[in-house]
Structure 1
Amino acid sequence: MCKPQSLVFLVIGGILLALVPQRLPAQVQSPEQDSDPAWESRLGAAAMLRPVSPGVDKYRLMPLPFVEVVYRHRYFLSTERGLGATVVAANGFSADLALHFDLGRKEDWAETELRGLGDIGAAPVAAATLRYRNGGYTVAVKGRRALGSYDGLRGESTLARQWRTGSGLVLTLESYLAWADSATMAAFYGVDAAQSLRSGRAGYRPGAGLERWGGRLRLMRQIGARWGVAATLDYGVLLGDARRSPLTSEDNQLVQAALAVFFRF
């Protein structure tokens, strides 16, 4: 376990590095000059820092592969988006269906903060995203359903603004509002009778409702002909029953910090 400062500073450093102006090699073509290949691939390595559980002031640093493979602008395999396909794409509207994997939560990730709560099992997650793009703006609604374990549903609505520059920089600012059903809220914020007995905490039964609002900064920068760097910072504020949970020690929290280096094929 670790505190968030180390990777946050590294992510900020990556962002500053990516913002440094640089001239792309002469052989790198603009998007208009590139042919339209069937496959688009970015592969690399990443590190991600996130809380052991929402609202808990203890963090896990996880090494991850960075994968972003797209076939004919429709089928994709992605560390972030999962395995799926764009089933509708017309007039700025699109709809994606995908399968992710939720690692759940282990009590021994934070032996003090999660003592007596038991584990939340890992499970595949079915996801659907509806999106509308107009210029640099994107509005989206996302839903994720755990297929097993806590069998819960999470949703999120987002508004994003993206900027692209001729130097290979893509910068995105995004605001979001997240909500969850009662099963998800009970799994991550609740304390049932057995957990209360084991942990000594008072019982708590949260209901469905708003979970968090927050903002994300995403950055991707091409460095040279093939290499690139990507960074994400996500900061959020817990709401409603999630905020009132006896498990919550941090209402305002770094939700995620991630940094990746990749090679574009």
Structure 2
Amino acid sequence: MVGAGAIYMPKFEGSDEFELVPIPMVSATFGRVTVDPGGLSVDVLNSNGFKVLLKGGYDMGGGRDEDDSDHLKGLGDIDAGAVIGAQLSYELGLVELYASVDKTIGGSDGLLGEVGANVSHHYDRFILSAGASATVADDNHMESYFGVTAAQSARSGLRQHEANAGLKRFDIEASVTYMATENWVIRGQAGVGFLTGDAKDSPIVQNDVQPSAMLIVGYKF
């Protein structure tokens, strides 16, 4: 599929400012291998409702630049990096349960784990979907994105903060996909994340409620 769209989202995780970011969309599946802008995934198991994916690529949404916001001045930049990971999912009727783990190589060198559930329903030309998830993170990720060291505190004016491993956020989302023709697809999605724990308590975070919205138009070959 090829397409394009845009996402309206916080400038950084925890920001109270928003930006509109264009999204190019190119994806293709060759047997058990899927290639998209984030990298590739390999379907290594698909049996009796269970599916195991191995994935690798680039952390498209990772990294952070202190020039993204005046609030980040003095905190320094966080580089994006390569990502390797795996996902286990189980389909039970209309419901999919999943658990995934992703390791960033470079940048924060962080480790993220996510568990969640999605439900979808086909109605005529529409696909209606909704999901909920929880994300946990290790010390490297939490300290990189939510911690404030003594040196950063002196440069930025923010108070010092130690962010330890633990539950980072909950997310809920809903989407509508419209099959306009056999080939043309229009998808709208909205969601909201709720930062928690040491992430929520960080002085870097201006708003612990993080909404977003996305619209994509694509063509399926």
The structure whose Rg is larger is 1
Unaligned runs of 5+ in 1: 1-41
Task: Give the aligned residue type for 2:72.
Answer: L
Alignment of 1:77 onto 2:35: yes
Contact kept? 1:53, 1:188, Cα under 8 Å: no
Unaligned runs of 5+ in 2: none
Equivalent residue for 1:155, pick from 96, 113, 136: 113
Quote the RMSD (CA, aligned, Å): 1.3
* Alignment of structure 1 residues 223-238 onto 2, 5 Å: 223-238=180-195
* Equivalent residue pairs, number: 219
Contact kept? 1:48, 1:63, Cα under 8 Å: yes
* Alignment of structure 1 residues 1-265 onto 2, 5 Å: 42-72=1-31, 74-79=32-37, 82-102=39-59, 103-110=62-69, 112-165=70-123, 167-254=124-211, 256-265=212-221
Kindly report structure 1 stretches of 4+ aligned residues shifted beyond 3 Å. none
CA deviation string 1:12-46 (max 9, x = no partner)? xxxxxxxxxxxxxxxxxxxxxxxxxxxxxx11111
Secondary structure class of the residue paired with 1:119? coil
Task: Give the aligned residue type for 1:192.
Answer: T
Task: Give the aligned residue type for 2:219.
Answer: F
CA deviation string 1:42-69 (max 9, x = no partner)? 1111112222221111223211211231
> Structure 1 stretch 184-193 or stretch 94-103: which is displaced more?
94-103
Percent sequence identity over aligned pairs: 33
Change (3 A) 1:175 1:132: same
- TM-score, with structure 1 as normaliser: 0.79
Give the C-alpha shift of residue 188 in structure 1: 0.8
Distance in structure 2 (CA, Å) of the matches to 1:45 and 1:146 = 26
Change (3 A) 1:231 1:100: farther
- TM-score, with structure 2 as normaliser: 0.94
CA deviation string 1:210-238 (max 9, x = no partner)? 01112011222110231111122120111
